[in-house]
């Protein structure tokens, strides 16, 4: 019977699960093993500060305080999904805080990890007593970068299926353990070089979907042939990228946004989406791309220049 109560409890949204645990002895013990931890401003009932009614600094402090309280009272056992939203790092929480929170919840058995380091709307704060702090946050929010601990992936590599990182650094080496269950990888504003990404690929042979957005340390992106299952690739706004080369034998769909780069995508590609600011993007696509993707079935091209915006299906 207890297992049934635990299962019912696990299906509740986080706030409802916490409320029930406060009033029911049957659910209290299962709270320490709650499997789906989504710790964001929305799920914790905090205002995002955009309407000017709440001080963004106070919201960020409340988020850090509640996150710390919840994870301190969690056993770390049974977590399947963890989503952490961190506001204005490192003003309200340190690298040690983040490391501690992650080590509590990221254990073998976890399947989804979503870490988002975001900026609050400190510039909209109307609280005079916080003016100096909000100004400091607005001016220096990019000064400190959180280094995601790769050791976490060694421990959870056998089970983790989806990894989403936003606004941090990831520095994997050849010593990284096998991420044999990882199927989806999504990086946004992640500092990682092509050599480090290569180390990650060598450990992630089950990867099916890869999204890289605003990863500005990448100059040459090469997708190795060992990624046999990779079918979907999205690359957006990586400002320093010059070349994208894919050897993945089953790449089916590729989406790209940014200035035009050299592309080598292989014969398996069937869907191609390009959003570029270059005036000759259509000419480039028709003259240079179509003959190197012989099995292409759908081509979509968007440009900031209306005369060149069109879609092609054949």
Tell me the pLDDT band of 299, cut-offs 50, 70 and 90.
confident
Nearest Cα to Cα of residue 138 among 41, 44, 49: 49
Mean pLDDT for the chain overall: 83
Show Cβ contacts of residue 224 under 8 Å, excluding neighbours closer than 6 positions.
Answer: 198, 201, 202, 247, 248
Q: Report the alpha-carbon distance of residue 183 to residue 303 in Å, rounded.
A: 31
Tell me the pLDDT band of 23, cut-offs 50, 70 and 90.
very low
137 pLDDT more than 80 = no
* b (16+ CB within 10 A) / e for 293-312: beebeebbbbbeeeebeeee
* pLDDT tens column, 69-112: 999 988 888 899 999 999 988 888 899 999 999 999 999 999 99
312 pLDDT more than 60 = no
Distances (CA, A) of 172 to 154, 188, 195: 10, 16, 9
- Spans of all domains in the chain: 1-31, 34-269, 270-314
Across residues 168-178, what is the average pLDDT?
A: 89
pLDDT for residue 209: 99
* pLDDT tens column, 41-67: 998 888 765 555 577 778 888 999 999
Q: Which residue has the tokens 């070349």?
A: 243
pLDDT for residue 269: 94
Q: What are phi and psi of 291, to 5 degrees?
A: -80, -10
261 pLDDT more than 70 = yes
Q: What is the CA radius of gyration of the chain?
A: 22
pLDDT for residue 314: 47
Q: Report the alpha-carbon distance of residue 283 to residue 58 in Å, rounded.
A: 52
Tell me the pTM.
Answer: 0.87
Distances (CA, A) of 142 to 21, 28, 30: 39, 40, 39
Nearest Cα to Cα of residue 264 among 225, 303, 229, 298: 225
Joined together, the tokens standing for residue 74 give 């969690």
pLDDT for residue 308: 43
Q: Which residue has the tokens 């000017």?
A: 52
pLDDT for residue 126: 60
39 pLDDT more than 50 = yes
pLDDT for residue 47: 72
E-strand spans in the chain?
A: 36-39, 81-87, 112-118, 162-169, 184-191, 209-213, 220-223, 232-236, 243-246, 253-257, 262-264, 271-276, 298-303, 310-313
């Amino acid at each position: 019977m207890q297992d049934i109560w635990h299962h019912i409890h696990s299906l509740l949204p986080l706030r409802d699960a916490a409320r029930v645990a406060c009033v029911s002895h049957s659910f209290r013990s299962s709270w320490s093993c709650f499997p789906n931890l989504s710790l964001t401003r929305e799920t914790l009932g905090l205002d995002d500060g955009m309407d000017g009614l709440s001080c963004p600094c106070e919201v960020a402090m409340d988020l850090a305080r509640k996150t710390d309280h919840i994870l301190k009272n969690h056993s770390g056992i049974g977590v399947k999904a963890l989503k952490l939203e961190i506001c204005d790092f490192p003003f309200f929480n340190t690298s040690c805080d983040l490391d501690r929170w992650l080590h509590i919840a990221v254990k073998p058995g976890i399947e989804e990890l979503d870490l988002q380091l975001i900026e609050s709307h400190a510039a909209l704060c109307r609280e005079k007593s916080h003016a100096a702090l909000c100004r400091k946050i607005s001016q220096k929010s990019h000064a400190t970068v959180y280094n995601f601990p790769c050791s976490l992936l060694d421990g959870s590599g056998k089970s983790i299926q989806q990894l989403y990182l936003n606004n941090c650094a990831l520095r994997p080496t050849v010593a990284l353990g096998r991420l044999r269950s990882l199927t989806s990888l999504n990086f946004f504003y992640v500092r990682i070089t092509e050599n480090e990404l290569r180390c990650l690929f060598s450990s992630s042979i089950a990867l099916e979907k890869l999204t890289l957005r605003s990863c500005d340390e990448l100059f040459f992106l090469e997708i190795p042939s060992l990624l046999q299952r990779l079918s979907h690739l999205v690359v957006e706004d990586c400002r320093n990228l010059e070349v994208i080369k894919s050897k993945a034998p089953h790449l089916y769909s590729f989406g790209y946004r940014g200035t035009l780069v050299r592309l080598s995508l292989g014969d398996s590609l069937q869907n191609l989406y390009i959003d570029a600011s270059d005036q000759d993007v259509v000419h480039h696509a028709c003259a240079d791309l179509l003959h190197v993707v012989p099995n292409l079935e759908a081509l979509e091209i968007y440009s900031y220049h209306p005369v060149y915006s069109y879609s092609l299906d054949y």
